[in-house]
Structure 1
């Protein structure tokens, strides 16, 4: 409870008040000074109670306020003699004294104090919540309950919430002053251009968010322009994901301008957009000028061969990028050659992905010429390119000619190699023991495996039996039925031999004997036709179908 100075004065203990009055009367009698206007004055001692200096302070002789004196009846005022009346003071002087006391009291009441408490302050959480709910009413959207529960988390994940443009506008209002969220994920919310503009305006004011994911929101040209303007002012964003936003060559122009002026963002994802050859030209210049980016993802665009050349030149001039993803862009032979030239002069790039770029063997060999001089690249992904074993051979050959190569991982997934590549790989492995290479397998091994399970193993009597049946359109089941006259599916060796000869199957006596020895496993003179033939044919589905009984 806070007590005002007026109340404190009026509630002083009687003993203290009496001491003050006695002190006043004593000083008045000693000084012999006439009290003007009925107000006693004395020099205030330094460091006395409530004093801060040696100024002369006026004091009243009574603790009663003018309000109390006015409320007292005329009779009581007559009975109570004031100091002014005792010393013969006139009524005008008494009124002057009362006026001075009232003015002093009013001044005391107006004094400020550090003890005063502002009861109007409300909790911060309640303020932000109210702000968001009011914004939702204005933009006619339903508040996101997840945001209300996690508005003070460092990681705020609102992906797949269907916010839309209006929801983004409402959300940006409390985020302007939010100091808790450091990473904001708004992926797949169909924000479109309007929502992108609202979020960009919010990021101009918010200086706490360092990472934002705006992927798959169809921001388009309007969103790209708003983000570009934001990046020119924002100095706190470090990571920004803009993939899947339908950015085309027109949208690439403002983004490139932002990349040249912003040197704080370290990771940018522009994959899965619609940027083509024109975008490659402007982005290539931006890449060359940027001095802050360390990771850049341009995969799944449409740069093709002509757009790949300026991008490769930009990489050659950049001295800060550490990881670049250029996969699924159709660079072809020309783009591969341009990247090879960039690797000759780039001495900082460590991770490069050029998978699925339609690079033929010639392009891979020209790329390898640059790789032969590079000393910083650690991982190279060349998977799913039609460069065959010759292209893989050229790339790994470049390592053999570059003892200072830093490559630790080569990815040739889905590309088959031959024995020459395997032999070279073994040799290079001795130079670089930590090198790891993955590929689509060895074609020579495939041939061996195929030969191992080919029908040449059945080139004996059983294979000849099958070929004769195929050439003459004979059914094995019908043949078995003619041989197995008692329908028991078990025949003697002699019955089986007679059946083969009667069917006109071209087998010599030795081959007949070999075939029957193969089928008569138990050597009891009887052959279980279906069981033995299934065991001999193994997993041959076609022959199993022929041997299956018909219903």
Structure 2
């Protein structure tokens, strides 16, 4: 009996030991498998952890433990099934673990390392011509790109008259020209850009420091366009020539430009012809001309300057010491304007080319105008055609020039003026003197044709 009990006791020991081992393994599994593998290794999602790589699938409701001292055959079967499941799913489990590891590495590199490089941003190649910017701007403003502009935007001189750009097309053009470094002369005459397009060109010229000549004639800029371009001239230091002819500029628009001319010293040529500038604008422009120190050529042809405006403009000319060319043709200077210009020529010693044709100047005004020609030393070309000065006025001009030994006159234009035989004789003498190079003045015009026809 004793022996039987002893054998029974010995036979029971392995099962008890197995129970103890199972409890130990269960505790280790609850602690995360600390004793079975290093903590740095990632655990499998379905592993409970064991020394000999035997694992048991962990489920939400399937976790249970056998009572103390009870040997569970079902537990052994579960362990066997766990081994089979591990073998079957080893490939997928390891792949998932590797993918998680890769994700962790990428996340760590993004968070742990500081860098100035933006890996997600791809820098586009530099486009010196601005074609890419132009196409993008056309898409933004919903206009069709101009193929002529794309072909020639790399030239030093670009002429795009009558292309019908409109306000939106002008905006797209201006966007691409901001960074253009090759274009020097730009002609956009007659493109219906209006005030909005003119404002876009003004903003472009504030940034572009290469363009030197711009023609924006016949674009209906109006007061809005004139105002924005005037503000541009206060900042731009490279533009030397600007044409704003035929843009419906009235007195208020001219006032904006007059304020600019008193400060700008870089602009050399300004064309304001074919507008509606009147007496009020003539007065403010006269003051601006007197103060300006940069303009060399100014055109105010085909405007409405007369009376007090003409007198104020003439006084400004007398105080100016930089202007070389002045075009006042097709205005209404009349007698008062001609007299004021004669007084201005007494003081001005820089003007070389003066055009006062078609200004309704009578013979009295022409004779008073000659008072300045008697002492002026710089005028080389004078155009007085299409004025009703008659023979007396033409004769008086010729006599004044002949009486000035220091006169620099080279060309006189008396086109479409009726004269008599006395003036023709004097003109013939003048022409002979010119051919002999003893006197520099040449008289031109169509007056002699009319005289011969009525002879």
TM-score normalised over the length of structure 2: 0.70
Contact 2:303–2:330 (CA under 8 A) maintained in structure 1 = yes
Which residue of 1 is the match for residue 127 of structure 2? Answer: 124
Asked if 1:295 corresponds to 2:302, the answer is no
Residues 72-471 of structure 1 correspond to what in structure 2 (within 5 A)? 122=125, 124=127, 128-428=130-430, 430=433, 432-439=438-445, 440-441=447-448, 445-448=452-455
Q: Secondary structure, in 3 states, of the residue corresponding to 2:270?
A: strand
The alpha-carbon distance between structure 1 residues 119 and 198, as it changes in their structure 2 partners (threshold 3 A), is closer
Unaligned 5+ segments in structure 2 are: 1-108, 116-120
Alpha-carbon deviation of 1:121? 5.3
The alpha-carbon distance between structure 1 residues 206 and 420, as it changes in their structure 2 partners (threshold 3 A), is same
The alpha-carbon distance between structure 1 residues 374 and 136, as it changes in their structure 2 partners (threshold 3 A), is same
Runs of 4 or more above 6 Å deviation: none
Distance in 2 (CA, whole Å) between partners of 1:320 and 1:160 is 34
Alpha-carbon deviation of 1:426? 4.4
Contact 1:418–1:443 (CA under 8 A) maintained in structure 2 = no
Residues 21-36 of structure 1 correspond to what in structure 2 (within 5 A)? none
Distance in 2 (CA, whole Å) between partners of 1:359 and 1:202 is 43
Cα deviation code 1:88-147 (max 9, x no counterpart)? xxxxxxxxxxxxxxxxxx9xxx9x9xxxxx99552525x822211111111111111111
Cα deviation code 1:450-495 (max 9, x no counterpart)? xxxxxxxxxxxxxxxxxxxxxxxxxxxxxxxxxxxxxxxxxxxxxx
Alpha-carbon deviation of 1:304? 1.5
Which residue of 2 is the match for residue 32 of structure 1? Answer: none
Alpha-carbon deviation of 1:417? 2.0
Q: Secondary structure, in 3 states, of the residue corresponding to 1:441?
A: helix
RMSD after superposition: 2.0
Distance in 2 (CA, whole Å) between partners of 1:402 and 1:261 is 36
232-241 vs 167-176, which moves further: 167-176
Alpha-carbon deviation of 1:202? 0.5
The alpha-carbon distance between structure 1 residues 399 and 142, as it changes in their structure 2 partners (threshold 3 A), is same
Q: Secondary structure, in 3 states, of the residue corresponding to 1:380?
A: strand
Contact 2:362–2:389 (CA under 8 A) maintained in structure 1 = yes
Q: Secondary structure, in 3 states, of the residue corresponding to 2:448?
A: coil
Residues 63-78 of structure 1 correspond to what in structure 2 (within 5 A)? none
The alpha-carbon distance between structure 1 residues 444 and 276, as it changes in their structure 2 partners (threshold 3 A), is closer
TM-score normalised over the length of structure 1: 0.58
Cα deviation code 1:498-533 (max 9, x no counterpart)? xxxxxxxxxxxxxxxxxxxxxxxxxxxxxxxxxxxx
Higher relative contact order structure (alpha carbons within 8 Å, sequence separation ≥ 6):
2
Q: Secondary structure, in 3 states, of the residue corresponding to 1:304?
A: coil
Q: Secondary structure, in 3 states, of the residue corresponding to 1:169?
A: helix
- Count of residue pairs brought into register by the alignment: 333
Contact 2:430–2:442 (CA under 8 A) maintained in structure 1 = no
Contact 1:196–1:227 (CA under 8 A) maintained in structure 2 = yes
The alpha-carbon distance between structure 1 residues 130 and 446, as it changes in their structure 2 partners (threshold 3 A), is closer
Distance in 1 (CA, whole Å) between partners of 2:299 and 2:449 is 32
Alpha-carbon deviation of 1:445? 3.6
Contact 1:382–1:411 (CA under 8 A) maintained in structure 2 = yes
Alpha-carbon deviation of 1:151? 1.2
Cα deviation code 1:28-67 (max 9, x no counterpart)? xxxxxxxxxxxxxxxxxxxxxxxxxxxxxxxxxxxxxxxx
Unaligned 5+ segments in structure 1 are: 1-105, 113-117, 449-551
Distance in 1 (CA, whole Å) between partners of 2:391 and 2:133 is 63
The alpha-carbon distance between structure 1 residues 412 and 444, as it changes in their structure 2 partners (threshold 3 A), is closer
Contact 2:408–2:440 (CA under 8 A) maintained in structure 1 = no
Cα deviation code 1:404-458 (max 9, x no counterpart)? 111010000111222211333345554853321023117664443xxxxxxxxxx
Residues 472-551 of structure 1 correspond to what in structure 2 (within 5 A)? none
Contact 2:367–2:396 (CA under 8 A) maintained in structure 1 = yes
